[in-house]
Amino acid sequence: MYATAFLDLPPLHRAGGTVRLPGSKSISNRVLLLAALSQGQTRIEDLLDSDDTRVMLTALDALGCRLQRHGPHSLTVHGLGGQLPVRQASLFLGNAGTAMRPLCAALALLACQHGAAFELSGVARMHERPIGDLADALRQLGCPVQHLGQPGYPPLRVGDGAPHALRLAEPIRVRGDVSSQFLTALLLALPLAAQQQAIEIEVVGELISKPYIEITLALLARFGVAVQRQGWQRFVIPAGSRYASPGQIHVEADASSASYFIALGAIAQPSLGHSGITIEGVGLDSIQGDIRFVEAARAMGAQIEGSANALQVRRGAWPLKAIDLDCNAIPDAAMTLAVLALYADGPCTLRNIASWRVKETDRLAAMRCELSKLGATVEEGPDYLRVHPLPADGRGWQTASIHTYDDHRVAMCFALAAFNPAQLGLRIEDPKCVAKTFPDFFETLFGVCQAQPSHIPVLCIDGPSASGKGTLAAELAARLGYHLLDSGLLYRLVGLAAERAGLDTAAAALQQPQQAAALGRLAQQLLVRFEQGRVWLGHEDVTDEVRSEAAGMAASRVAVVPEVRAALLDLQRNFRRLPGLVADGRDMGSVIFPDAALKVYLTASAAQRAQRRLWQLQERGESATIKDLLADLEARDERDRSRSAAPLKPAEGALLLDNSALSIEQSVQQVLDWWQASPVLRPSAALE
Ligand SMILES: Nc1ncnc2c1ncn2[C@@H]1O[C@H](COP(=O)(O)OP(=O)(O)O)[C@@H](O)[C@H]1O
Ligand SMILES: Nc1ccn([C@H]2C[C@H](O)[C@@H](COP(=O)(O)OP(=O)(O)O)O2)c(=O)n1
């Protein structure tokens, strides 16, 4: 997951390959609750591991439900089977509507049956998301429900610690036109009270997002409760209904998450060797309503073939065909259509999406605002959005910093704008908001997308030993979410491998052509692995040894050999991967990445550097004297500077940074300021 303040996406141009998506949020949270309410144990496979499922799991744990973990996506729930071991609890449910609404209903009923009381709260936005209609329905049943903040909104308290008889004779009326989750919540909760008599639910108003009710009904059936329905207005839970575990249940991949990759296949030219995007884990047999995004994407021109649980998507019509669509059945995936509309041959109208206003944010307002930043003309109605496309020749597109409103779907759908024909980069603010449903969204996206290599930004930090390059580069990579190349480490590994192989690395020996050629071959065949902060040379963990002063000196000697430098060239350039790279060394800006977006030459006085090295060694428990260190540094600097192959010197266009008097944070800030001013977010040279 990218836990950075922002993520800059370079312009993307091709995509291809296979993605396996995380489990459906809607199914995961329903299954967790059903399993907890059931009699018996349920083993759940492919469960989504995200913010919203985590709050549900924490809540179930707090209620005394035993959860047995087998891995991040697999667990066994030991069902409560009508018991309620904990009678009082305060549950924090983040911004998870799929936890707040169903738990509110289920706990209200359990509280009446067992004489319990529970408080349910969430983040500030959750306290702005309506729940009053569900509370009203529960009060009709005779459940005490008290709003603890604003009337009609969480936080709330259900139950008052005393048992209450439920009024089940009359049909329970609930509004269906604000959120379908109110009906889902009642459908999931009421089987707890249907042992003796049938219970009827009547929907008031036009029911929205019906496919989500279909998911609820399908899962209720898996847990032994067959709800009868008449149209979308009346639902009957038969007398004698009782939850029973199906033993094992498998969660489909999330169809809403699939929408981003279906859209990707529809807009991106296939990368070489691929015919498009394959999505595994969800297909045409899905019980999720958002699978109907497939029809919308086809209407826009995408070529989609599907099987029971996989989809293959290729670009068909281009530009995409404009659509005018009632999106009530696919409210979440419809956000993806709003971004696809930028690539259409006319204005696209998405209708019947008033529910967007009460989601993670007011999505109608958010989408209008952010699409406009890209240069699009957008009309926002009370329950519709009309998006006018941007020209296919790239004119009129603007780069933008996309605000994401703590809304995972805003972040994910706007990533698709990186395929703009103007080849402009794009900034996604607060990318970690995708953790709600798809923590590895951007990693998955980069795994199947290609940018032109020259568009993948590189930031180079070169300079002498102990100037702080490694420290600065690692911090910059962490803040930008970029890959990190510590090129010195590769030379250190060659030095170490040479010693292991019995090759003489003394300066005189390396002047012999045979020795140099042997060292070049060794560098070419270097067997290195980087794993969770450890460095492996063949089968040996050399993490500590490779950082020693001796390894640094050996590195400096072998680095003089042109054959070694040539052998490491491709290895280093292969680090240039999406979304970008910070590279540190001696010749990053001058030889390896001469087209880098920013080159920094980092220095500090020799005395400062020797002092820093001394502290570094002392920290590791090694002893040294300042005098020796200074002599070593000067010898190393001299060798690095005077060698004929890629000598250490500021690259052309490099900005000099002497950090003798700067703290690490000041150095980081200085380079970040330079980076913000660099042309990463500007139009590519091609269009200038
Ligand atoms: N700007 C700075 N001010 C003070 N100390 C620094 C600064 N930058 C780095 N250091 C310290 O200097 C030592 C050497 O830094 P390092 O990143 O290993 O240098 P290099 O990679 O250039 O050899 C580290 O202990 C680091 O914490
Ligand atoms: N791009 C690079 C990186 C390192 N080297 C050589 C020169 C250095 O003396 C050694 C070791 O580099 P490293 O950056 O690990 O060493 P310091 O931490 O700066 O002491 O490798 C190089 O020639 N070219």
DSSP category for residue 244: B
Ligand 1 centroid distance, CA of 466 (Å): 6
Task: Tell me which residue has tokens 């030379």.
Answer: 491
Best residue for ligand 1 mutational test, from 460, 461, 467, 471 (most atoms within 8 Å of Cβ):
471
Domain boundaries, the chain: 6-22+253-451, 25-250, 453-482+580-617+648-688, 485-578
Q: Is 332 a catalytic residue?
A: yes
pLDDT given for residue 13 in this prediction: 92
User: Which ligand minimizes its atom distance to the CA of 593?
Assistant: 2
CATH placement of domain 25-250? 3.65.10.10
The answer to whether residues 310 and 279 touch, using CB atoms and an 8 Å cutoff, is: yes
How many C-beta atoms surround the C-beta of residue 654 within 10 A?
21
Tell me how far the alpha carbon of residue 410 is from its chain's centroid.
12
The separation between CA 252 and the C-alpha centre of its own chain, rounded to angstroms, equals 19
Residue 391: the pLDDT is: 95
Q: Averaged over 553-569, what is the pLDDT?
A: 93
| CA separation, residue 595 to residues 427, 591, 645 (Å) | 21, 9, 19
Q: Could you tell me which of 358, 359, 381, 378 has the C-alpha nearest to residue 369?
A: 378
What tokens were used for 336? 């993806």
Apex 533 CA angle, 529 and 534, nearest 5: 50
> According to the model, what pLDDT value does residue 625 have?
93
For residue 12, give the DSSP letter. Answer: -
Q: Whole-model pTM?
A: 0.87
| Closest residue to atom 7 of ligand 2, CA basis | 556
Identify the pLDDT of residue 679: 62
- Smallest CA separation from ligand 2 atom 23, residue: 559
pLDDT at 512: 87
3-state secondary structure 61-89: HHCCCEEEEEECCEEEEECCCCCCCCCEE
> 157-172: per-residue pLDDT in tens?
999 999 999 999 999 9
Q: Is 590 in the pocket of ligand 2 (CB under 6 A)?
A: no
**Residue found by looking up tokens 């994910």 in the block:** 412
Which residue from 143, 60, 68, 63 is spatially nearest to 96, judged by alpha carbons? Answer: 60
Whether 485-578 and 453-482+580-617+648-688 are alike in CATH topology: the answer is yes
pLDDT score for 358: 87
CA distance 83 to 76: 18
CATH architecture of the domain with range 6-22+253-451: Alpha-beta prism (3.65)
What's the CATH architecture for 453-482+580-617+648-688? 3-Layer(aba) Sandwich (3.40)
Q: How far apart are CA 341 and CA 389, in angstroms?
A: 6
CATH code of 485-578, in short, is: 3.40.50.300
- pLDDT tens digits for 674-683? 998 876 554 4
Q: Does residue 495 have its Cβ closer than 6 Å to ligand 2?
A: no
pLDDT digits (tens, 9 = 90+) for 494-532: 999 999 999 988 877 778 889 899 999 999 999 999 888
Distance CA(363)–CA(425), nearest Å, equals 23
pLDDT over 70 (residue 58):
yes
The pLDDT of 451-467, averaged and rounded, is 95
- What pLDDT is recorded for position 687? 35
> Residue range 459-474: average pLDDT?
96
Ligand 1 pocket by C-beta < 6 Å: which residues?
465-471, 612, 615-616, 659, 662-664, 667
